[in-house]
Amino acid sequence: MNADGTGKRRLTTRPGDGEPTWSPDGRRIVYRSSSATSFDLWVVPSTGGTRRPLLRTPSANELDPDWSPDGRRIAMQSSRGGQIQIWVLTLSSGHARRVTRGGASFSPDWAPDGRRIAFATGGRIAVVDTVARRQRILPSGSPRSADDPAWSPDSRRIAFQRGGQVLTMRAQDGGDRRYVTRASWGTNGEADW
pLDDT the model gives residue 34: 84
Q: What angle do CA 29, 75, 147 make, to 5 degrees?
A: 100
Q: What pTM was estimated for this model as a whole?
A: 0.89
Domains present along the chain, CATH in parentheses: 18-179 (2.120.10.30)
Residues 142-162 pLDDT 10s = 767 899 999 999 999 999 998
Residues 48-104 pLDDT 10s = 999 998 877 878 999 999 999 999 999 999 999 889 999 999 999 999 999 999 999
Residues 1-18 pLDDT 10s = 677 878 777 777 777 788
> What stretches of 35-164 adopt beta strand conformation (E)?
39-45, 52-55, 62-67, 73-78, 85-90, 95-98, 105-110, 116-121, 124-129, 134-138, 147-151, 157-162
